[in-house]
Amino acid sequence: MNDPLLVVEGLAKSYGGRMGCADVSFTLEPGEVLAIVGESGSGKTTLLNLISGQLPPDQGRVAYRMRDGALRNILDLTEAERRFLARTDWGFVHQDARNGLRMGVSAGGNIGERLMGIGDRHYGKIRDVALNWLDRVEIDPARIDDKPGQFSGGMRQRLQIARNLVTNPRLVFMDEPTGGLDVSVQARLLDLIRGLVAELGLAVVLVTHDLAVARLLSHRILVMKGGYVIEAGLTDRVLDDPQEAYTQLLVSSVLAA
């Protein structure tokens, strides 16, 4: 087994007495896809914000293996280091593409931003990379100068993915990436994500309320309820043979739907 990419230990966060999440621990291996599932209010979004460094925890630690091999607590990083990490070695795919894209900037500019952020200063090369990424996320490269507002919901999500992957990150956080999309659009997006994750060996922390999405994309699942992880394990095991009554309920409600 590899050295873990992400180590989460004893994370807890409350908001003025109301619990966000508590006592969350897990590790993530390189190339592994972990789904955090639960209903709204279960604490899964709080957890995602904690481990992606966007929210400071009350307790616990989030350690990330940097490209130099050192495991570092992300809370000990300077703001400059954390922001650099977030736009190079990490990606973040938001449910609402408007939060993850610059809507006033062309598709090419959106994809190129991270490259320019790390010092690329050759327009022609940046554009070539953007064209290539549009193709990889199945957007017609002829649309490179169009703005995201001219794209469909599914295309915007695919553009958001391309914008994140252009720096070859090793870890991508995804917050309900297929939420709000039509079923057929969802299916195509899931196929694309699954293909890219496998091809690039990405580690992913995926937050979703949709067990079908978790089943299709993830290797392992954490089930959250009331801020706690109540069940964890390999995806097939948890979904085919849930141990906790709550998980059984979640699974059966999907089957009934």
Partner 1 sequence: MSATAENYRGYNFAYLDEQTKRMIRRAILKAIAIPGYQVPFASREMPMPYGWGTGGVQVTAAILGPDDILKVIDQGADDTTNAVSIRQFFEKTAGVQTTTETGKATIIQTRHRIPEATLQDHQVLVYQVPIPEPLRFLEPRETETRTMHALAEYGLMHVKLYEDIAQHGHIAKTYDYPVLVAERYVMAPSPIPKFDNPKMHQSGALQLFGAGREKRIYAIPPHTEVVSLDFEDHPFEPTKFTEPCALCGALDSYLDEVITDDKGGRMFVCSDTHHCESRRAEGHVGALGTPITPVTEAAE
Tokens representing 192 are 């694309």
Contact 203, 32 (CB under 8 A): yes
Return the number of the residue (98 or 122) whose C-beta is nearest partner 1.
122
Q: Where are the beta strands (DSSP E) in 89-215?
A: 90-93, 171-175, 203-208
Asked if 79 is part of the footprint of partner 1 (rule: CB under 8 A), the reply reads: yes
Least separation, in Å, of the C-beta of 141 and partner 1?
13
Asked if 106 is part of the footprint of partner 1 (rule: CB under 8 A), the reply reads: yes
Return the number of the residue (47 or 165) whose C-beta is nearest partner 1.
165
Asked if 102 is part of the footprint of partner 1 (rule: CB under 8 A), the reply reads: yes
User: What does residue 232 show for φ and ψ, rounded to 5 degrees?
Assistant: -145, 145
Contact string (CB under 8 A) for partner 1, positions 131-170, x = contact: -------------xx-------------------------
Contact 138, 158 (CB under 8 A): yes
Return the number of the residue (114 or 158) whose C-beta is nearest partner 1.
114
Least separation, in Å, of the C-beta of 88 and partner 1?
11
Least separation, in Å, of the C-beta of 117 and partner 1?
3
CA 121, 167, 32 angle in degrees (round to 5)?
175
Q: Give the integer Cα–Cα distance in Å for 183 and 168.
A: 29
- Residues forming beta bridges with residue 174, ordered by sequence position: 93, 206
Q: Which of 9, 58, 113, 138 binds partner 1 (CB under 8 A)?
A: 113
Name the residue type at position 153: G
Site residues for partner 1, 118-137, by CB under 8 A, read 118, 121-124, 126-127
Q: Which of 57, 112, 154, 227 binds partner 1 (CB under 8 A)?
A: 112
Name the residue type at position 148: P
Tokens representing 195 are 């293909």
Return the number of the residue (91 or 108) whose C-beta is nearest partner 1.
108
Contact 86, 92 (CB under 8 A): yes
Least separation, in Å, of the C-beta of 49 and partner 1?
18
Return the number of the residue (89 or 113) whose C-beta is nearest partner 1.
113
